[in-house]
Amino acid sequence: MTVLPFITSSAVGWWLVQNEGYIRSFSATEWFIASLVCALACALALTPPTLLAFVFGYFLGWIALLPLILLNLAAIALV
């Protein structure tokens, strides 16, 4: 079970590198859906919150602060 977040993070990281241009073109709705999926992944311990902070910060900059706070609160509520 402790290996699963590492494998998931590696797969997500690989996918992000391969699709950086596509992710940069996400609309607000797509970022909202991604936030919901990420909250579920955090709640199920599939990805660590630090990976999500890195990804959201990289693509959104300081604008990612509020979605990340809400994402972490949603993940906590799901647990």
Residue 1 pLDDT exceeds 70: no
- Of 13, 76, 71, residue with least CA distance to 39: 71
Task: Round to whole Å and give the CA distance between 44 and 25.
Answer: 28
Q: Is the distance from CB of 47 to CB of 9 less than 8 angstroms?
A: yes
pTM: 0.76
pLDDT digits (tens, 9 = 90+) for 6-45: 898 899 989 999 999 999 999 999 988 988 888 888 888 8
| Sequence ranges of the domains in the chain | 4-78
